[in-house]
Amino acid sequence: MTAIEVHQPSYVITVGQAAGRTGISPERVAINVDDFRIPDNGGNQPIDEPIYEDGPAAYFTTLPIKAITRKLQENGVPCQVSNTAGTFVCNHVFYGIQHYLRDTDVGHGFIHIPLLPEQAAATDQPSMSLDVIVEGLRLAAQATLENKDDIAVGAGQIC
């Protein structure tokens, strides 16, 4: 939060890693719940706890996630909209920053990236090279600056 105060950005893009993702995934929504199936790096393991007692049930991204997705795909970077940031640390960060920025004009969203090849080497998890991830995040920032409003294209999922 200090960096936001010091730099006063127009947009904040937070990034986290998710095993199992096959592409870069801009997240649509953050929910007000921590429900960790395993402890985080600090040993914390909240179960069914709100992130903010006084917070709304959810916050939607204020980034143009469909424009981001299209920009990456047009440039050969695997990308798809994700409708859930889960209930672990990434969702906690996404929700917390959205809550912090709730009364500002600063745009914010969260993007998940896949594992690096060296992280996935001993598993059957998908991965993406660091060069492709960096290019994807650069393109995501560019799409954000180019699209104050998101584009209207279908990206929903049938369950």
29-71 tens-digit pLDDT: 999 999 888 888 899 897 899 999 999 999 999 999 999 999 9
Domains of the chain, residue spans: 12-146
pTM: 0.92
pLDDT above 70 as % of the chain: 97
Determine which one of 27, 79, 92, 108 is catalytic: 27
Q: Is-catalytic flag, 135?
A: no
Taking the C-alpha atoms of residue 83 and residue 88, their distance in angstroms, rounded to an integer, is: 15
* Fold category of 12-146 in CATH: Aminopeptidase (3.40.630)
Q: Is-catalytic flag, 112?
A: yes
Q: Is-catalytic flag, 159?
A: no
Determine which one of 79, 90, 92, 108 is catalytic: 90
Determine which one of 79, 92, 108, 112 is catalytic: 112
CA geometry: angle 88, 105, 133, nearest 5 deg: 45
Give me the pLDDT at residue 133, please: 98
Residues 6 or more apart from 35 whose CB is under 8 A from it? 46, 47, 48, 49, 87, 88
Give me the pLDDT at residue 159, please: 56
87 neighbors 50 (Cβ within 8 angstroms): no
Of 101 and 36, the one with more pLDDT = 101
What distance, in Å, lies between the first and last C-alpha atoms of the chain? 37
Of 3 and 142, the one with more pLDDT = 142
Give me the pLDDT at residue 74, please: 97
Give me the pLDDT at residue 158, please: 58
